[in-house]
Amino acid sequence: MKIKVLSCILDIENYKCLDMEYFDGLELNRVKKINDKLEIKLQKGLDNFLEEFSTEKGDKYPYHGMWDMEEAKWRLRSGNFLFWILEYQDEIVGWQWDVLGKISVYLNRSNGLVYSPRKKNEFIFIKDIFIDDNEIFGINFYIDRRYRGNSFSRFLKSYHPELLGQMGYKKLLWHTEKWNHSALSMLHKTEGISCTTKLLKINKEK
């Protein structure tokens, strides 16, 4: 079995978002630790995600392998992840995780990809990806369905690379699966992104 993905590289120094818009009151913040107040807001955002993707609806399939609160805390303790939340009117309406150094790619039960999970025994291992110290790998990009297709997405795709550049990173890498039309649309009206199609070979025998 093979999965076709679009392997993308964003050159931070040369990247431009040509349709950038700022929405008043919208903020992108890095999370280093999850306190009690943030946990309540974050759980509400996770509940909104699960409501949309946990049951089959139209062309969407139940998603297996979504991070939960325990995994989020584990990721932050490990020091191998960066976590960004998109906030609007005191509500978390999106997020982005980034992985450092080594990225382990797995297959979930819905035939999608999961990256460096805590509960590895729930998934089928595909491969490890090793990146340079000045590179970072993006995963779990999400915008609440109420705010997709407007300035929220454009703000995140513009400001996230800018913040990474301020931290000294040169390249942002990620995979886009062919079903993910929202992620594919994020490539529109940008400069400095190169993409190639790759086939990931999967051995389903554990």
Distance between CA 102 and CA 128 in Å, rounded? 7
For residue 136, report the phi and psi dihedrals to the nearest 5 degrees: -145, 150
Confidence of residue 153 (pLDDT cuts 50, 70, 90): confident
Residue range 75-81: mean pLDDT, rounded = 96
pTM of the model: 0.90
**pLDDT > 90? residue 148:** no
Amino acid at 87: E
CA-based torsion, 160, 165, 167, 173: positive or negative: positive
Q: What angle do CA 29, 30, 32 make, to 5 degrees?
A: 140
Q: Which residues contact 121 (CB under 8 A, 6 or more apart)?
A: none
Structure confidence at residue 109 (pLDDT): 87
Residue range 156-161: mean pLDDT, rounded = 90
Pick the closest to residue 12 from 185, 174, 181, 176 (CA basis): 174
What is the residue-averaged pLDDT of the chain? Answer: 89
DSSP 8-class letter at 60: B
Q: Which residues contact 81 (CB under 8 A, 6 or more apart)?
A: 75, 97, 98, 99, 100, 116
Structure confidence at residue 61 (pLDDT): 55
Q: In this predicted model, what pLDDT tens digit does every residue of 33-76 receive, in sequence order?
A: 999 999 999 999 999 888 887 665 545 556 778 899 999 999 99
Pick the closest to residue 200 from 128, 98, 109, 140 (CA basis): 128
Confidence of residue 203 (pLDDT cuts 50, 70, 90): confident
Residue range 99-117: mean pLDDT, rounded = 93
Residue range 91-110: mean pLDDT, rounded = 94
